[in-house]
Amino acid sequence: GDDDDDDDDATNTPGDGGQVQLGEVDVLGIWGAEELTSFEAMVEPWGGTVNFTGTRDITSQLTLQVEGGNPPDVAAPAEVGLFQEFARNGRLTPLSACEGLEDLIRDKYPESFVELGEVDGELYGFFMKADSKATIFYNPGLFEENDWDVPDGDSSFDDLVSLSEEIRDSGTVPPWSMGMEEGAGTGFPGTDWIQQILLNESGGDVYDDIVTGEKGFDSDEMKDAWEKFGEIALGEGFVLQDGASAINATNFRDAIYTVFEDPPEAAMVYIGAFGSGFITTQFPGIEAGTGFDFTTFPGGDVTGGANIVYAFNDDPTTCDFLTYIAGAEAQQIWVELGGFTSVNEDVDLEAYPNDVARRLAEQLLDAETFRFDLDDAIGGGLQQAYFQGVTQFLTNPDQLDQILQQIEAARE
């Protein structure tokens, strides 16, 4: 992709903006499969041509292209660490460069998300396709049979533990299903646990301090979060995949499925909102709400991920494109197709395909405290260390302190 070929081989379709001759825009993202189809559906109405390249190794891909002097026009990765670095090194163009875009974001997007797009006060990017990670998926049928009461945002972590004990003692199935394996991303479900617990227990400021580095991973708050995670993960008979090696070796997807199989092998699984996607594809015709359901992670605060969209140039096509996809009409298209949670307030909640999806969106928008995925926020080596740390902690919980120190040591 490149940024100066718009004028010559322009497709000459007047865009929504109308005033510019729209050319091509090169987008580098991580979407594939049905996501990609939906994305293409979303940009279809836009006048210009979108050259989308998808890769799951986006950080290296971006680094290579930027270093090689050949960045895409627009990037939409999940990790903000890289984004911030690019911004600081002046590789990115601020959204202000595109007329009206910055205002649109500031008006329509929740504060917490806007802040995340700022570097040194300048707004460089905006978020779309957000995903709450304050979601515990469970098997409603199973809960009714054994009339266990479903925890919610208002219950506490201890309630969660006691529920786990109750389910375990009931001798039906283990309360949790847990899997960390995901190739190069192995360990991420654990990091989600920890960040969610951290936010609930120690609050947003501590969370932010961890991100910025004012507080280290070796801080007491952090350690507490890890230990709480350990209580569940390594709790006697708590987890279907019994023991560290099993948890580490089980792919997070397989872990999800076990809860909703017939008969179910576990009662609950903690996974980001995107988990619903796997459930519905794996079990076609499963009823949202009856076949599977989710509840807010006890504590009520919400962590979550999202794709951050930013641009490497400000030529008209690029700006027009950004403005288009930031807008409600565009995002509504994807929302209707499912698997997409918009943080643009103008997107009509009615647009969501089903109840679960709608509640996921609400949870995200109504959350009094929202924090961006910790590992994606820090990124780079620290993120790696964080991932590694989780799997190591599970195998050697007694070495927690030195693991945390080592993680902190990876901070740049």
Partner 1 sequence: MERSEAVQVPAPATAEVSVAQGLRGLLPRLPLHLVLLGFIVIWSIPTLALLISSFREPQAIAADGWWNAIWPPWEFTWDNYDAVLNQQGMGRAFVNSLLITIPATILVLLFASMAAYAFSWMEFPLRNSLFLIMVALLVVPLQMTLIPVLRLYTQLEVDVEVPIVGGRVFGTSSYLGIWLAHAGYGLPFAIFLLRNFFGSLPRELMESARLDGASDTRVFFRIILPLSVPALAALAIFQFLWVWNDLLVALILLGDPNMAPMTLRITNLVSSFGSAYQLLTAAAFVSMAVPLIIFFALQRYFVQGILAGAVKG
Partner 2 sequence: MIGRKPWVPWIWLSPSLLLLGVFLVYPVIDTVRRSFLDRRSDEWVGLDNYQFIIDNPQSLVADTHGAIFNNLLWLVLFPLIVVPLGLVLAVLTSRVKYEAVAKSAIFIPMAISFVAAAVIWRFMFVFDSDIGTMNALMVEINEDPVAWLQDQRSAQRAAFDIGPEEAWGPIQINNFALITIGVWMWTGFALVVLSAGLKSISTEILEAARVDGANEWQLFRRIILPILSPTIAVVTTTLVILALKVFDLVWVTTGGRFGTDVVATLFFKEAFVVRDFGVGAALAVVLLVAVVPIMVLSLRRFQFQEEIR
Binding site for partner 2 (CB under 8 A): 57, 59-60, 63-64, 82, 85, 181, 183-187, 241, 245-246, 248-251, 254, 380-381, 383-385, 387-389, 391-392, 395-396, 403, 406-407, 409-410, 412
If binding is defined by CB under 8 A, does position 44 make contact with partner 1? no
Q: Which of partner 1, partner 2, none interacts with 44 (beta carbon under 5 to 8 A by kind)?
A: none
Task: Of 350, 282, 298, 278, give the one whose Cα is nearest residue 135.
Answer: 298
Considering the complex, what minimum distance in angstroms separates the CB of residue 120 from partner 2? 18
Nearer to partner 2, 38 or 250 (CB): 250
Under rule CB under 8 A, residue 321 binds partner 1 = no
263 counts as binding partner 1 under rule CB under 8 A:
no
| Partner interacting with residue 51 (select from partner 2, partner 1, none; CB below 5-8 Å by kind) | partner 1
Contact call for residue 254 and partner 1 (CB under 8 A):
yes
Q: CB of residue 264 vs partner 1: minimum separation in angstroms?
A: 13
Sites for partner 1 among residues 57-76 (CB under 8 A): 60-61, 64-65, 67-70, 72
Among 99, 149, 214, 261, binds partner 1 (CB under 8 A): 261
What size, in residues, is the chain? 412
Binding partner selected for residue 246 from partner 2, partner 1, none, CB under the kind-specific 5 to 8 Å limit? partner 2
| Residue 288: CB minimum distance to partner 2, A | 26
- Find the radius of gyration of the CA atoms of the chain: 22
Binding-site residue total for partner 1 (CB under 8 A)? 44
328 binds, among partner 2, partner 1, none (CB under 5 to 8 A by kind): none
For partner 1, which residue of 22, 30, 233, 268 counts as binding (CB under 8 A)?
A: 30
When asked if residue 33 is in the footprint of partner 1 (CB under 8 A), the reply is: yes
- C-alpha to C-alpha distance for 371 and 208, rounded to whole angstroms: 8
The interface with partner 1 within residues 76-135 (CB under 8 A) comprises 78
Task: Examine residue 171 and tell whether it contacts partner 1 (CB under 8 A).
Answer: no
Which of residues 124 and 393 has its CB atom nearest to partner 2 in the complex? Answer: 393
If the CB atoms of residues 60 and 245 are measured against partner 1, the closer one turns out to be 60
Q: What is the 3-class SS of the chain, one letter each residue?
A: CCCCCCCCCCCCEECCCCCCEECEEEEEECCCHHHHHHHHHHHCCCCCEEEEEECCCHHHHHHHHHHCCCCCCEEECCCHHHHHHHHHCCCCCCHHHCCCHHHHHHHHCCHHHHHHCEECCEECEEEEEEEECCEEEECHHHHHHCCCCCCCCCCCHHHHHHHHHHHHHHCCCCCECCCCECHHHCCHHHHHHHHHHHHHHHHHHHHHHHHHCCCCCCCHHHHHHHHHHHHHHCCCCCECCCCHHHHHHCEHHHHHHHHHCCCCCCCEEECCCCHHHHHHHHCCCCCECCCEEEEECCCCCEEEEEEEEEECCCCHHHHHHHHHHHCHHHHHHHHHHCCCECCCCCCCHHHCCCHHHHHHHHHHHHCCCEEECHHHHHCHHHHHHHHHHHHHHHHCHHHHHHHHHHHHHCCC
Q: Which of partner 2, partner 1, none does 385 bind, CB closer than 5 to 8 A by kind?
A: partner 2
Q: Provide the minimum distance between the beta carbon of 246 and partner 2 in the complex, in angstroms, as a whole number.
A: 6
Among 31, 113, 229, 372, binds partner 1 (CB under 8 A): 31
Between 57 and 144, whose beta carbon lies closer to partner 2? 57
Mention every residue, 6+ apart, whose C-beta is less than 8 A from residue 135: 270, 271, 272, 273, 275, 294, 295, 296, 297, 360, 363
Quick one: what does residue 294 bind among partner 2, partner 1, none, with the CB cut-off 5 to 8 Å set by partner type? none
CA distance 1 to 28: 9
Residue 277: which of partner 2, partner 1, none does it interact with, CB under 5 to 8 A by kind? partner 1
Residues that bind partner 1 (CB under 8 A): 1-2, 5, 9, 26, 29-36, 51-56, 60-61, 64-65, 67-70, 72, 78, 182-183, 185, 253-254, 257, 261, 274, 277-278, 281-284, 307
